[in-house]
Structures are given as C-alpha cells and as structure tokens.
A and B are shown apart, each in its own frame.
Chain A
C-alpha cells in the first residue's frame, strides 16, 4: 500500500514539473515571437506604435520588468489559484492605471465544456468498443470480425470535422432530433435559460458521437487483440473446465484483462483527445478550452494575449496530468504489479499533444 502511494506520489511530482515546464516553454515562445503587447493598451493606434506608446504600454501591462521576475510572479499567483488578468479589452484610466478583466470567469466555463465533452465521449467509446471488441475478438477471422474492423476504420480515415458536419446535418438538419449546436450547463442557472441534465445531454449527444466514431477503431482493435490472446490462456481453460458459461468466462475472466490495456490507452490519448476536440468544438459551435485557445492564438492580429494563453496551456496540461494520474491510480488498483516493479514507463504520448 505504501509502495502504491509512493508510486502515485512520484507520478504526481513528475506531473507537476511537466506543468511548470509547459508554462516556462509558453513564456519562452511568447518572448521569441515578434509581438507587441502594447497594442492591447493602444488599440486604436495606427499601424506603427511610437516608442513612447510601446514603453508606456509595456509598463502598464508589467511586461517591462525582467522576464524571470514576470515568470516567478505568474507561477506564484497560479499556485494560489489566481489566473490574473487578461490583456484583451484593457482600458487606460487617467494615463497611469489599467483596468483589466480577470481571466477566471472566461476559462472556467470553457473548462467545464471541455471536460463534459471528453468524459461523455470517453464513456461512449468504452460502451461501444468493449462489446464490439469482445464480439470480434471471440471470432477472429470471421465475417463479423472483419465487418466490425472495417466499419471502425472509416472513422479514423475521415476527418473529425467532416464526421461532425455530416452527423449534424443528419440528426439536426434532416430529422430534427437534436439541437444543432451550442452548449447547456449541467446545472441550470437560477437566471433561467437552458440547462439541466436533459438539455446538457441532448446538446452534447452529437459531439460525443463524433468523438466516439473517431476513437472507436483504435479501442476496438485493442480490445479485440487482447480478448483474442486471453481466450487461449490457462485460466480461461480452467474456468471453462469448471463449467462457467461463455458469458461469465468473457465477462469475469477475459474482459478485466483487456481493461488494463484500455486504461493505458486512455492515458495516452487524453492529449490527442483535447487536440481533436478543437475540430469537434468548431463543428458544433461549442466554446471549450480548445476553441478559446484557437481564438487567443489566431485572433488579434500581431498581438498575443499572454495571460489568457498561459491560463489555457496550464489548464490543458493540468487536465492531461490529472487524467494520467487517475489512470495510474486505477492501474495500481487493477494491477498491483506496477507499483511494486519500476514505474510504469511513461508510455503516455502524454499531455496535450497529438493531432489526428
């Protein structure tokens, strides 16, 4: 038990450092880019800012201080749970003071949307891939097996954006079963508007489906291989010899083994999933972290809103790190060998990375 805890603690510390490095990298890349923060202060100035405007703007935004100091300032505030203020929309008052908007109210709802999309999508992937994978894995080489594998392949070869728009035109455009776009919070706000579990689920059903279609091939294949391998193991033969029904053999003896691989896979794919959610959010008009990031990075001409970008990078890395930590703790629970042996190799194509 203490070994398991030590293992999890080590992973947590490593995750923390990953987040710090991500923030540092973001700082470095920001300062390596030719961007003019002062533009946020002098929004209506002409194409070129005067040297006074640049100096004054930078001073008001606090970017004229040493870079290390800014970094330390940001990280200490972040540790206290403070995302700071965004630069976009800042207003100068009396030439000496800057009124800025805090970032937290922007990113918190976005985080909720992203998590809703990812969690619901993951559940749907599991619900579909485990039965289908078990079905295919118990009859390798049959017509049913080949059909399942082939249909699943189509999902990865068509772009999520295309799948998304097609799904939307079918369910919302043709048959009008589901609302076409937008997001409704899980908990209805007292001010009214849409909300509650039913609205939440109906608005997210199509994004979840798109998400699932994309990842299905990978997981079906994984479950299929794992099931096919386990079907010939000694303990399955023993279970059969004791007279267990086929359903019980698969449910109790074969699938738990496949669950481990699926878990590893989920850990590896969290980053990819966030990357992909950019397209899904775009197709369904959701405002999650990914689309917020796209707007922050592509948006304002030559100027980049550093605090907003930092907050997004932090949250995305945090989702990945925490997600992997959860996967690791499940791992310890399911397969105690990992904690006793060396660290599970960080198989993770970890954090907010891969693209489809």
Chain B
C-alpha cells in the first residue's frame, strides 16, 4: 500500500522497507531488543566491570561458601582476591571490619566466585561472535555455490545439489563429538588470538560449514526463478558477461532472502553453540559463553551432573537461559518482520 500511496515521490526500496518495518510494532520491538543485546554483549562487560570495580575473571574467595556454594544475586562481597586463612571450623576467616565490599548483581558463578552478571555479558559476546561468524562462513560457502547452481543449472546444478544433500544427511552431531575429541587440539589454536578468544573461530567454522547447505539451497532456488527473467535476458542481449549479470543484476535480488535467513541462522547458531558446550567441545573453559555458563551447572554429555537441592543455584540457570531466550525469540521475530517488510505483497 505504501508504494501506491507514495507513488508521486521517489523513495528507495530500502527506505520503503524501513517504513514498513517501523509500522510493525512487534518487529520494531524485536529490532530494539536485538540492538540492545548486541550493545550489552560487546560493550556491557567492560562498562559493568568499570562500574562494579571487578571483571569477569576475578575470583573472589568470599563469593562462595564453605560448601562451595556460590552466593546469590544482589549480594555484597568483601573485595578481596585472596582469603585471609581459615578458621578452626574450616570456614574462611571473616574479613576485618571496614573491608571494602563489591556488589555481585547476579550472584557468583560457582566455587571460583566470579561475577555472574559480567560473565553473562561476556558470554553473550563470545556466543554472538560464534553465531554471527558461523552465519558469515555459511554465507561465504553458500552464496557462490548456490549462485553457480542456480545460474548455470544443468550439470553444475546436479553436482551442487548432490553435495548439499550429502552435507544435509551427514550425522553432524556425531561428527561434532568426534571433532571435539579428535580435532580440537588442532583447530582450537587457529584463533585470531588478539581479537577472538581461542576456539571461537574453530567453532564458527564447524557450525558454518555444516549449516552452509541452507543458504546454498535458498540462493539456488531464488536464482532458478530469476534466471529467465526479462531483465536478465535483456542484459544478455546487450552483451553483459555472466559475472556482470550475476553481480549487478542478480545479487541485489538476494539481499532480502539473505537478511531473512541471516536473522534465523544467528538464532539457530546460538542454540547450536549451547549444544556444543554440552558436548564439552568448543572454546576454552575459562572463556564464558551462554552455553558454557549453563553446562558448568548441568555438566556435559559424558559427565552429567545430578540435581541436588542443597547445592542448586537457580540463578546460574535462569540468567543465561533468559539471555538465550531473549536473543532467540527476538531474532526470530525480527526475521519474520523483515520477511514481511521486504515483500510488500506477502500475506500479512
């Protein structure tokens, strides 16, 4: 409708899309949540560290009780990084009066006594790096393969279709278990250590490679439809090369598809990363991710932990789960909203 109403003024398609997205309350809300999560993950950790006066790696002995049960949310803890010796009963000597304290907003993360809030924020950074990196790598593989298959068709298409089918059929879960045990020590160090923590790149690579069949199929289907469109024919007629047609005439048509897929893919990759943490694969234990925060309480596949009401610390499950829930739900909603906004004729 917007296109018709504004037919007098020339507005670019991206402006129109933006206008349609803004009119969709739920999707706009989802977009705001996604932006907030990105900001909180990439900038929240350092900011919170500055405000609270400690970072996510500092271990506070006073943040865990004698039974190694961490303290709960919104507790003040003596700001001491080493204990003051033990009393006769084995408990830590209480600090002298007037010791400075530091606030643990989400409580502590386990016997080590690190700040759960900062670890959730930092974990978001690592999780999103893996999720976004995985989606980019999948796109990097899927876009050329899918374009070739869709544009040239015939034998090329048949080969690509078979390869994607096999990747789809591959027992990914089993391969990941295998990779975590057999390949981790080789892939792990391929980090860009100064920028990404160890293991992040390897994990993104594994996830990206095995989910690349999805963009491949999408791009292929889209190009199959457009291959015989009139604007392609006319470009051919004036002597444009294949490369030129692909790049200038067809690639722009893929942007909506890729955007809609991208939001969903990042959501799925976040869940995949959680799954990998439960296998015990992935990044170093000291690096927090949303998955590893959960698996520290619940154990991994090979050593599941049992529930014990004495030592159970609900905040360690609730906060990371809530972060995952928020990210996944808002990304899904955003993808849905994008799909509707990008296609003016789509059924509402």
Contacts and interface: CB of A to CB of B under 8 A. Distances in A.
B178 A297 contact: yes
B4 interface: no
Nearest to B322: A157
Contact of B304 (A282, A348, A349): A282
Contacts of A275: 171-173
Contacts, number: 136
B169 A352 contact: yes
Contacts of A294: 174, 177, 301-302
Interface of B is mostly: helix
B168 A278 contact: no
B301 A312 contact: no
Interface in B315-344: 317, 321, 324-325, 328-329
A313 to B, nearest CB: 6
A351 B169 contact: yes
Contacts of B271: 156-157, 355-356
B24 interface: no
A274 interface: yes
Interface residues of B, number: 42
Nearest to B347: A229
B264 to A, nearest CB: 13
A307 B181 CA distance: 19
B172 to A, nearest CB: 5
Given A165-B298, A274-B173, A21 B307 contact: no
Given A153-B325, A297-B174, A159 B278 contact: yes
A165 B182 contact: no
Size range of the chain A interface in the assembly = 35 or more
B10 to A, nearest CB: 36
A271 B168 CA distance: 9
Interface string A226-239: 00000000000000
A161 B165 CA distance: 29
A354 interface: yes
In the A-B complex, the 7 residue pairs with the closest CB atoms: A351-B169, A275-B173, A169-B307, A352-B171, A157-B325, A297-B178, A298-B181
28 contacts: A18-B165, A21-B169, A22-B169, A29-B178, A154-B325, A156-B271, A157-B321, A157-B325, A161-B278, A162-B298, A165-B307, A173-B307, A275-B172, A278-B177, A278-B301, A282-B301, A293-B171, A293-B174, A313-B174, A346-B165, A349-B168, A352-B169, A352-B172, A352-B174, A353-B172, A353-B210, A355-B272, A355-B276
Given A157-B271, A294-B177, 13 more contacts: A21-B166, A29-B175, A154-B325, A157-B328, A159-B274, A161-B278, A165-B298, A169-B306, A282-B302, A297-B178, A316-B171, A351-B169, A356-B271
